Structure 1
C-alpha cells in the first residue's frame, strides 16, 4: 500500500488516540489523520499522539481528495459533510458513527418526561417539542448538506449494529454495515481496575452531566424501588452542560440529602476507581446508545447494571448474552433482592463475553479487515 492512502477526518477527541493506535498497528504509515481547525496556530487539547496528526486549516490547498484510496469520517459534522459531498464519486467513504452525530434524527425521544420538562426550562420549547416536530426535519433532510452526505456515504461502522438498522429504516438510507470498535478491553479495563473488587453497596447513576442520562427518572427509580438510606448515590457530573449540572445538583440534594455524592471535578484515576469499586449497582437510564466504554468497565467489575429495555444498547448487549437488567423489570417486581453486585459466577460470565467480543486480538482483526476491504475494493470503486 502506498504511503498515507487512507484519509481519516477526525476531531480533537480522546477516542482518536485509540483509532490512531489501531490503524497504525495494522497499516503503519498508510494513514493520514487530519483535524479541521481555524488556523495554523491551533493547539490540540485531547489527542496525545500529536505527531500522527495533521492540522488542516485550508482544505483546498492542504488536501487533494484524489490522492487517497478511502476516506474515513470519524463522527459526522457539518464541515465534514462538505468534504463528503466534494469527494470523487469513485472514492469510498466510510462513516465511523459515534451516536450523537445522528441519533436525534432517527430517535425522537432521547429524554424521559421529567427530564424533558427540565430541558424545556433550560433550552426552551423547541427542544421540548422535538418528538413532535422531528418528522419535519426528516422530511427536509435529503435537501440539506447532511442529508446529501448521508446518501453519498458507502459504508457505516456504528458502535452497535442494531443502531445502523434503526437509522437506515427511519432515514430511508441504505448504508452498508462494516465492523469497527474504538479501543479494546485493555483500553477500558486497565490494570488499575483489572483486579479491583467491589467493596461497597453504593449506587452509580449515569456517566456525565448530560440530559440523555435521565438523572431525575433514575433518582425516582432509586427512591421507589431501592433501600438507599445507607448507601451513597454517586453521580459523575464532571463533563457536560454546566446549567444542567447545576439543576441536577439541586435535585439530587433534595432527593437524597447527605447520601447524594456528585463528582463535579475530574478525579485522578485511582480516586475515581475507588468510587467505582464502592458501587455494587449502576443505573444507566439512557434512551439511546451511550456510555459503552463505562459499561464495559462496570461489566468487568461485576457491577449490577440497570438500563432501559428500549435502549438499543441494552438490546444489543443482552442479545450477545450479557447479564444486564432493565429498569422496567426491576420496577415491576419491587423486590430489593437486586441491591447487591452480580456475584462471581455472573461476573465471570460477563467477563468471558467481554474477552470474546472486545479483546485486543478481536478489535485489531476488525481493523485489519476494514483496511483490507478497501485495498480489495480499490478496483471496484475506480470503475
Structure 2
C-alpha cells in the first residue's frame, strides 16, 4: 500500500507520521500544501512541496490511498483527479466542515463578543464589485453553490475522520447522502510527550498561580464573556490571568489585550509566542483552571493537557467537546456552573479528582490507542481495495 498524505497545517502532522510509520513503516509520503516554505520542524517527515499542477497530479496517481488532512483549497480540488481504484481518507480539522454544522458563522459567538469584538464583516457587494472575482465568489457562497460543489466532491471520499465522533452525527443529520463512512482516527502527536512529562513531573504538588483562558486570538474563544464573569464574581483575585494568543487575528488580539489590561492590570499576561510542547505543558501545569468558552469544537489539545496535568477545566456547555469529555467520564465544569457556584468552582481539583481525570485522558490518549486506530483504518482500506 502506498499512502499519500496531503496537508497544510504543520502543527498536527507529526501525529500522523508517528502512527502511520509505526503501523506501516515506509508506506507514507507527505505533501506539504502550505503557502509558506516547508518549516524546519518537518525535517524528520521530509515532505514534498505540493502545488496543484500536472506533475503533482501525475505523482498522486501512483498512490492507492490519499489521506487528506483538512478538506479545503487544493486538497478539495484534487478530488476531481481521483481514480476509481484509489481510496481517500478525509481527516477533518474542524474548520473544514464547520460550515456544514454552523451555516451562520455568528452562531459561534456569545452576545458580548458579537456586539463588541472586531469580527470580520461579511463581504458587501456593490454594483462595481458584482463582476469581480470576489463578487462572483460571494454570490456563489450566498446561494450555496460553493457548498454544493464541496458536497458533491465529498462523495469521492471513502472515509471521514472528524475531530470528535459526535461531529459525524452533526454533519450526517444535515447531509447524509453526501457523507462517507465514519472511522475513529485522529492525531496523537503529543501523547508520548505528555506521558513523559507526567512521568517526570510532580503535577500533584506544583504551586498553581495562574488561570489560562482560551487558545488563540480569534473571536470564537469568546474571551470577553469570561473576563466579564471573572470580574463580576471577583474570581481568581490573586492569580495571573494568562491568555493564549500565539496565533489568530492581529486586530482582535490588540483589542483583547487592551480590554484584558483594563480588567486585570498587571495580572493580565498575554502569551503571544509559539513554544515547544514541553514548555506549553509546563505553563499549563502552573494553572489551577483552564477556561475555554468556544461554542464549537476547538482547543482539543488544551483540554487533554489540562485534564492530564490537574487543572480544573471549565468550558462552554454548548461545545460538543465539553459533552464528549463528560461522556468519557472526565470531571469538567461549565461556565454556567462557575457563574452559579463561584466559591466552590474557584477551588482547584483535589488529588483524587486529578487522578480520575488523568486516567480518563490516558485511557483515550496514549500511543497504543492511536496505533490501534491507525491499524484499523489501514485494514479497512485494504478491505476496500
What does residue range 1-383 of structure 1 map to in structure 2 within 5 Å? 1=1, 5-36=2-33, 43-45=37-39, 47-49=41-43, 52-57=46-51, 59-64=53-58, 65-107=60-102, 108=104, 109-119=107-117, 121-125=118-122, 139-144=144-149, 146-172=150-176, 173-183=178-188, 186-187=191-192, 189=194, 191-192=196-197, 194=199, 195-197=201-203, 198-267=206-275, 272-331=280-339, 333-378=340-385
Q: CA deviation at 1:264?
A: 2.2
SS at match of 1:24: helix
Which consecutive residues of structure 1, in runs of 5 or more, have no partner in the other structure?
128-132, 379-383
TM-score by length of 1: 0.86
**Aligned equivalents of 1:36 and 1:163: distance in 2?**
25
Contact 1:12 1:47 in 2 (8 A): no
Q: 1:17 to 1:283 in 2, by over 3 A?
A: same
Q: CA deviation at 1:201?
A: 4.0
**Aligned equivalents of 1:49 and 1:99: distance in 2?**
26
SS at match of 1:182: coil
Q: 1:278 to 1:104 in 2, by over 3 A?
A: same
**Aligned equivalents of 2:330 and 2:243: distance in 1?**
24
SS at match of 1:63: helix
Q: 1:63 to 1:73 in 2, by over 3 A?
A: same
Q: Deviations over 1:147-178 (max 9, x none)?
A: 32223222111111001111122344333211
**Aligned equivalents of 2:111 and 2:84: distance in 1?**
44
Q: 1:138 to 1:174 in 2, by over 3 A?
A: farther
Q: 1:302 to 1:276 in 2, by over 3 A?
A: same
Q: CA deviation at 1:140?
A: 3.2
Which consecutive residues of structure 2, in runs of 5 or more, have no partner in the other structure?
125-137
Q: CA deviation at 1:206?
A: 0.6
Q: Deviations over 1:210-240 (max 9, x none)?
A: 2121110111121223523222111111222
SS at match of 1:9: strand
**Aligned equivalents of 2:355 and 2:368: distance in 1?**
20
**Aligned equivalents of 1:185 and 1:271: distance in 2?**
12
Contact 2:218 2:249 in 1 (8 A): yes
**Aligned equivalents of 2:45 and 2:94: distance in 1?**
28
Q: CA deviation at 1:122?
A: 4.7
**Aligned equivalents of 1:104 and 1:319: distance in 2?**
25
Contact 1:193 1:273 in 2 (8 A): no
Q: CA deviation at 1:74?
A: 0.5
Contact 1:219 1:252 in 2 (8 A): yes
Q: CA deviation at 1:58?
A: 5.5
**Aligned equivalents of 1:361 and 1:317: distance in 2?**
20
TM-score by length of 2: 0.86
**Aligned equivalents of 2:235 and 2:71: distance in 1?**
43
SS at match of 1:32: strand
**How many pairs does the alignment contain?**
364
Deviation larger for 296-305 or 215-224: 215-224
Q: Deviations over 1:177-220 (max 9, x none)?
A: 11112116634515345524241242110111121211101111
**Aligned equivalents of 1:184 and 1:19: distance in 2?**
7
**Aligned equivalents of 1:179 and 1:141: distance in 2?**
27
RMSD, matched Cα: 2.7
